[in-house]
Structure 1
Amino acid sequence: MYTTQLDNGTLNNYAVEPKVTYAEYPAVYEQRRYIIQGAIAALFVTAVILTSFAVS
């Protein structure tokens, strides 16, 4: 951590900035897994909405 001191004596602490890394494009099997997860999430949300309509 690096610290600076202002003219009035106040200390400012600054966090160490991490090294920037760039994301890689997902592989085919990862893309397939994301599609499956999205479909399951959509089914879950649809079920919750339909259940809320049925209960009310």
Structure 2
Amino acid sequence: MYTTQLDNGTLNNYAVEPKMSYAEYPTVWEQKRYLKQGAVAALFVTALVLVSFVVS
């Protein structure tokens, strides 16, 4: 942590900034995995909606 002190005695604390890293485009197998996860999530939400209609 980087700390400075002003003339009137006030302390200012500054956080250490992390090193920047850039996101990379997902590979083909990661894209397929995301597609499968999206399909499973859509089925799950659809099932929840259908169950809520049946119960009510």
TM-score range, shorter chain: 0.7 to 0.9
Q: Provide the alpha-carbon RMSD of the alignment.
A: 1.3
Tell me how far 1:22 sits from its aligned partner. 0.5
Following TM superposition, the consecutive aligned residue runs of length 4 or more in structure 1 with deviations greater than 6 angstroms are none
Read off the aligned partner of 1:32 and give its amino acid letter: K
Where do 1:7-46 residues align within 5 Å?
Answer: 7-46=7-46
SS of equivalent residue, structure 1 residue 3: strand
Cα distance in 2 for residues equivalent to 1:42 and 1:14: 44
Mark the runs of 5 or more structure 1 residues left unpaired by the alignment. none
Tell me how far 1:14 sits from its aligned partner. 1.7
Q: How many residues align?
A: 56
Cα distance in 1 for residues equivalent to 2:45 and 2:7: 56
- Report the TM-score when normalising by structure 2: 0.84
Closer, same or farther: CA 3–55 of 1 in aligned 2, 3 Å: same
